[in-house]
Structure 1
Amino acid sequence: MWLLALLPFRALYILSDGLYFLLRYVVCYRRKVVRCNLQNAFPEKSKEELSEIERKFYHYICDYMLEEVKMLRISFKELCRRMEYDNKEEFLAMVEKYGGIVLLIPHYANFEWIIGMGAIMEPGDLPVQVYKPLRNKYLDEMFQHIRARFGGYNVRKHATAREVIKLRREGKRIAVGLITDQAPNRSEAHYWTTFLNQDTVFMDGAERIARLMGFPVFYCELQRIDRGYCKVFFDLITETPKQTADGEITELFARRLEQTICREPSYWFWSHKRWKLKREDVVRHG
């Protein structure tokens, strides 16, 4: 991977085109999962439309994997050139006013490149990435290395509240980023809603942290401009999380994400088993 990361983007995308053929037509990587998810999410679309989304998705996921490897060697200057940050003024004003914010991030476009947001933050301010450790220790170490390369601070999911409180007591101003569209475990299945025409459960840890700390909440509206180029717009969901009802922030995130996906569905992680947990299973197990 270190050697692969030395290749220029043009060479990586040539490899990606070959990987696309291998993943889609030879390995058939999670093809049943992808097709089932697309059919359930878009029952109104024709077979031709779904096939086109599937084709673009496999191209995207191959690009994503190699772009992630490139993060091992990419320079900070080049990352900032390829990742645009819109609405920076409101973002920075909220960090300064409240000492921190919460960022709700989906598995969309090249979401990992958000780690470069340290470039737009004030010196000393800290971008915090909440992550779930991977089973493969080598991949886990690689992702931690990538996410910490440009000043990011990695926090394990179940230690989030403790670490955030600790950083604030130390006087750090922070932006806490959480991937918020993952499929939760039964113990984390707290909020159910209709999402992409399906009964869907979301984790509500992000809104709990926001309420605990009184941090404003932003949704990361991601847009893939081209291969190797991405843009994020920081969309304010609420400045006063403590005044929101239970589940309100999570519901607003679900609606924002649904709009993002429907605008360009190919750039979401359709290979995830997002709907494997059913409401009746959660009820049955208490």
Structure 2
Amino acid sequence: MKSRFIYWLVYSGMWLFSALPFRMLYILSDFNYLLMYRVGRYRRKVVRENLKKSFPEKSKEKRLQIERRFYRYLSDYMLEDLKMLHMSPEDLYQRMTYKNTEQYLELTEKYGGIIVMIPHYANYEWLIGMGAIMKPGDVPVQVYKPLKDKYLNELFQRIRSRFGGYNIPKHSTAREIIKLKREGKKMVVGLITDQWPSGNEKYWTTFLGQETAFLNGAERIAKMMNFPVFYCDLTKPGRGYCIAEFKLMTEKPKETSEGEITEMFANYLEQTIRREPAYWLWSHKRWKASKAECERG
């Protein structure tokens, strides 16, 4: 009962904040940036170490510039995510620009579904509005990792389902996708693919000059369903706006070699980050262990 009360209290507060216009939210974001970066120093050691290992060729001052811009972005991202509690689909669609949707829709129709591999970059949470560019009846599927707190998990599901998305917990991905397929549904399956992989779901490659493990779940699902695979290249032209370009990586995943799709994703992502490094989530503990350490258990 207490947890439920806290949930509704938090939800009500977040809803009221989300009702503020963007101009007011960004004033709050500027203040939050100072608290998070200057006062609380949220994960500053993690961010600094990640940037140093990823860009050893850059000067310390240049890395500090990226660091400060990252924290400004992170503060904006937190409030832009919150804003989704109050945004209408029309509002969201005005702020998101989608490119290469013709091929996206064509292959969804042809194969009954596609896989979109998504990085933690720019306004990636706003991609939940992609149902607006799909045909009526087609399903935008969002694969997510359930949170330990069931009420907080419920809150984020509420946010993500507001725009017609079909939420699937990570451990049920294959079963739910097969179920939708049997029901005759055409779908677009969005998977965040650049976080530290748990368990044995690891593909190792060199990324940003470092030995890095990637999730291989998206590749396995693409091959199982024979769904074409797209990379979602995100660009942030300004506060409160995002461009998503869907780049086809392969139309026939079953014809690719083991790890080839995941390798392509890593290469595309590195290009995105090097183009504008401040908008990736550097606060993630992305490089938790080396391949040798993981193999030793």
Report the TM range for the smaller structure's normalisation: over 0.9
* Amino acid of the structure 2 residue aligned with 1:207: E
Match of 1:118 among 110, 126, 131: 131
Report deviation, 1:277: 2.5
* Amino acid of the structure 1 residue aligned with 2:62: E
In the alignment, the residues of structure 1 paired with residue 267 and residue 23 of structure 2 have an alpha-carbon distance, to the nearest angstrom, of 36
Within 5 Å, give how 1:74-153 maps onto structure 2. Answer: 74-153=87-166
* Amino acid of the structure 2 residue aligned with 1:200: T
- 171-180 vs 129-138, greater mean Cα deviation: 129-138
Quick check: 1:270 aligned with 2:275?
A: no
For each residue in 1:237-274, what CA deviation from the matched residue of structure 2 results, as whole angstroms up to 9, or x when unmatched? 00000000000000000000000000000000000000
Other-structure match for 1:178:
191
Report deviation, 1:135: 2.0
- 138-147 vs 176-185, greater mean Cα deviation: 138-147
Other-structure match for 2:70:
57
In structure 2, runs of 5+ residues without a counterpart are: 1-13
Within 5 Å, give how 1:1-286 maps onto structure 2. Answer: 1-189=14-202, 191-285=203-297
Report deviation, 1:137: 2.6
In structure 1, runs of 5+ residues without a counterpart are: none
SS of residue in 1 equivalent to 2:281:
coil
Report deviation, 1:283: 1.0
* Amino acid of the structure 2 residue aligned with 1:188: E
Report deviation, 1:97: 0.3
In the alignment, the residues of structure 2 paired with residue 156 and residue 166 of structure 1 have an alpha-carbon distance, to the nearest angstrom, of 14
**C-alpha RMSD over aligned residues:** 0.7
For each residue in 1:41-67, what CA deviation from the matched residue of structure 2 results, as whole angstroms up to 9, or x when unmatched? 000000110010001000000000000
State percent identity of aligned pairs.
64
In the alignment, the residues of structure 1 paired with residue 149 and residue 77 of structure 2 have an alpha-carbon distance, to the nearest angstrom, of 19
Report deviation, 1:153: 0.2
SS of residue in 2 equivalent to 1:16:
helix
> What is the TM-score of this pair, normalised by structure 1?
0.98
SS of residue in 2 equivalent to 1:187:
coil
Aligned residues: 284
In the alignment, the residues of structure 1 paired with residue 26 and residue 185 of structure 2 have an alpha-carbon distance, to the nearest angstrom, of 39
In the alignment, the residues of structure 2 paired with residue 148 and residue 277 of structure 1 have an alpha-carbon distance, to the nearest angstrom, of 35
For each residue in 1:126-170, what CA deviation from the matched residue of structure 2 results, as whole angstroms up to 9, or x when unmatched? 000000011233332121111111110000111111100000000
SS of residue in 1 equivalent to 2:137:
coil
